[in-house]
Chains A and B, each alone.
Chain A
């Protein structure tokens, strides 16, 4: 049995609506902001109408049931029901929009913003495109020395970073929930494994206030670590982050 065109269109719109809700609440673990949903659904409805009314024939097929509803005397009961429901729905939607909301505004931000070309710290300037971890070479050249450096990096981490980023580097430290945005989860393959060591150096050295505007520098609780740590300590803690999580930094050489 072929479904009537109008019903097909309605089903498509409803299915897309449910999909949006599911993807956000189940997949991304946060509800979709209503303003965003309204915008998306507007495009979905327009697109559906464009497709379903592309030819004159299909347009007729679409409008047919609606015309019949108004004009066909045998559809009187359905017509009366629809004619009561539609104004009620319009009234409810208007009310929902006018009613003041007491829920906090949604703040969208870029998690890994583009780094600047260069940065200043420790009394010098660094070219971030060329910057490399000076200790990385020991991973191949002198594994024993490398192991010792990683251990020193671990000590830096557990003296300074675990409060937020967690004992397990999973972003769930003792005080993590007190900050917004939540501290980064280094175990997630979407974080440090996608980044170069120079990016981490920039993020650690300049902290929250060093972020560009699209990454909400006013909210980040990341301290400006160049005020607390030495250059070597930052490079060692970077070695530790990759070693503990079993991930490798992204590098130009690998490409």
Chain B
């Protein structure tokens, strides 16, 4: 009996695992249309042309199904049609770092197949005649990664940069004219599919249809790579992940350690690498006028130190372009006019004692805020430091940064900005500047501007309130007091015992 159930379940697995000639044969396009009209029209449009009401404000733009072109597919580069499974997968799992959500928790498997059947009708897609050949996967190893790195620098670095952060040397657009940015491989959680080597192998072999990402399996291409070589590059790309840039929900505090002597004030100081990084999600400013919907960056990392006099904060973020107004190279890559790359941190002027704190959008009349601002300045000129006080959106006063002792310095290196902001812990104007206190949780928020991406003024990326803490040095009393308490308890026990004995003997 037991054997039989086992056999049956094995058989059923085999049936489900066997490739079906046409999956959408399972789907009912008519029912698919009903689901589409309720759930999908908002972005992808009534006729599937990617022109729903949200289309202009989502980044990246929604897929135009009438083109029949699918970015993420596992059929060869010379086969237009994706496999039904490719479409099914994108509906089920969604695409990270885009507004396409995973639908598997809301739509049943059958409903998702119904959608696949309906979507294919928009372009009259036929079933693919060929499947992508994954050949034999090359398992990752130091050697494979090393081989992959060499090939990467030769074939991929032109767009993705030598560090894989997508540092741009050319302006990329997709077939529809939308600006596209090469993927930053140090943040694999932003990959539209995944960072499984198999997925990377597929993107390299097929290319990303409709974009400037070509196929590296196309025999007519000068850049063609063999199957093994594509696996090597995939292994190298996987190895580029940098976990310090990953946002963790429980990580809400920038922890500044106290050090004796001078604080690091150069962005490249190796001492920074010993400090604990805290990474926060950057979101576009979609709250106050004028709103911004097409950011190029999504995270910002901070580290900090302090000593008896000053505090020094390092802010790092990936930016595919170093932008300074007046720089002809930046103008070539820019989306419109070039503005300066910039970053700012915001603090309340007074550290709150209770929960209440300033409105995170630049404070309010009752709770003014401090802004420390840096930008890269005009090409050839020096960088800009500003100190501002604000009591709400667009209610800012510029103050004398030098007088408060605020100094900043930024360095751009291979796709990453590193900016140090340093200021004395206390200043002469206690009613206008934040006065840092050891051990007090102090609200901090960040903002960043990518000048090549049209970010200027209120159009920028930002974070909500997080915390910065000047970690107090732990005094010896933390150890002594527990010892005294334990000693007192022992004393009490002995007294009790003694009195019990006395009672007994009497």
Show the binding face of A for B, using Cβ within 8 Å. Answer: 70-71, 83, 86-88, 90-92, 94-95, 98-100, 102-105, 107-108, 154-155, 157-159, 162-163, 166-168, 170, 172-175, 177-180, 208-209, 213, 216-219, 221, 223, 227-228, 244
Could you tell me the distance in whole angstroms from the C-beta of A114 to the nearest C-beta in chain B? Answer: 19
Contact of A162 among B99, B106, B367 (CB under 8 A): B99
A-B contact count (CB 8 A): 142
B447-506 at interface with A (beta carbon < 8 Å): 463-465, 467, 469, 471-472, 474, 477-479, 481-483, 485-487, 489-490, 493, 496-497, 500, 503-504
Contacts of A177 in B (CB 8 A): 247, 249, 281
Contacts of B496 in A (CB 8 A): 70
Contacts of A95 in B (CB 8 A): 478-479, 481-482
Q: For the complex, what is the distance from the CA of A205 to the CA of B282, rounded to whole Å?
A: 26
Residue of B nearest to A244 (CB): B38
Q: When the two chains form their complex, are residues A166 and B464 in contact, meaning their CB atoms are under 8 A apart?
A: no
Q: For the complex, what is the distance from the CA of A103 to the CA of B252, rounded to whole Å?
A: 8
Could you tell me the distance in whole angstroms from the C-beta of B436 to the nearest C-beta in chain A? Answer: 16
Does any Cβ of A come within 8 Å of B8's Cβ? no
Q: When the two chains form their complex, are residues A90 and B286 in contact, meaning their CB atoms are under 8 A apart?
A: no
Q: When the two chains form their complex, are residues A94 and B464 in contact, meaning their CB atoms are under 8 A apart?
A: no
Interface size, chain B (Cβ < 8 Å): 65
- The answer to whether residues A102 and B487 also contact, given A94-B481, A158-B43 and a CB cut-off of 8 A, is no
**Further contacts, 12 of them, CB under 8 A, given A90-B489, A95-B481, A218-B356:** A94-B486, A95-B478, A99-B474, A158-B54, A168-B106, A174-B98, A174-B99, A177-B247, A177-B249, A178-B280, A178-B281, A223-B288
Contacts of B57 in A (CB 8 A): 159
Could you tell me the distance in whole angstroms from the C-beta of A210 to the nearest C-beta in chain B? Answer: 11
Q: For the complex, what is the distance from the CA of A159 to the CA of B56, rounded to whole Å?
A: 8
Contacts of B360 in A (CB 8 A): 218-219, 221
Most B CB atoms within 10 A — which of A94, A167, A172, A221?
A167
Q: When the two chains form their complex, are residues A98 and B478 in contact, meaning their CB atoms are under 8 A apart?
A: yes
Contacts of B234 in A (CB 8 A): none
Contacts of B100 in A (CB 8 A): 167
Contact of A88 among B54, B106, B486 (CB under 8 A): B486
Contacts of B247 in A (CB 8 A): 177
Q: When the two chains form their complex, are residues B42 and A98 in contact, meaning their CB atoms are under 8 A apart?
A: no
Could you tell me the distance in whole angstroms from the C-beta of A89 to the nearest C-beta in chain B? Answer: 9
Show the binding face of B for A, using Cβ within 8 Å. Answer: 38-39, 42-43, 52-54, 57, 97-101, 103, 106, 247, 249, 252-253, 255, 280-284, 286-289, 293, 355-360, 364, 367, 439, 441, 463-465, 467, 469, 471-472, 474, 477-479, 481-483, 485-487, 489-490, 493, 496-497, 500, 503-504
Residue of A nearest to B504 (CB): A71
Q: When the two chains form their complex, are residues B283 and A179 in contact, meaning their CB atoms are under 8 A apart?
A: yes
Q: For the complex, what is the distance from the CA of A244 to the CA of B38, rounded to whole Å?
A: 8
Contact of A158 among B42, B441, B493, B500 (CB under 8 A): B42
Contact of A159 among B53, B97, B287, B469 (CB under 8 A): B53
Q: When the two chains form their complex, are residues B99 and A173 in contact, meaning their CB atoms are under 8 A apart?
A: yes
Q: When the two chains form their complex, are residues B101 and A227 in contact, meaning their CB atoms are under 8 A apart?
A: no
Q: When the two chains form their complex, are residues A162 and B288 in contact, meaning their CB atoms are under 8 A apart?
A: no
- The answer to whether residues A100 and B286 also contact, given A86-B493, A91-B486 and a CB cut-off of 8 A, is no
- The answer to whether residues A217 and B101 also contact, given A71-B500, A158-B52, A158-B54 and a CB cut-off of 8 A, is no
Q: For the complex, what is the distance from the CA of A228 to the CA of B493, rounded to whole Å?
A: 71
* Contact sample, A vs B, 9 pairs, CB 8 Å cutoff: A91-B489, A98-B478, A100-B474, A104-B441, A105-B467, A155-B53, A158-B54, A167-B43, A168-B103
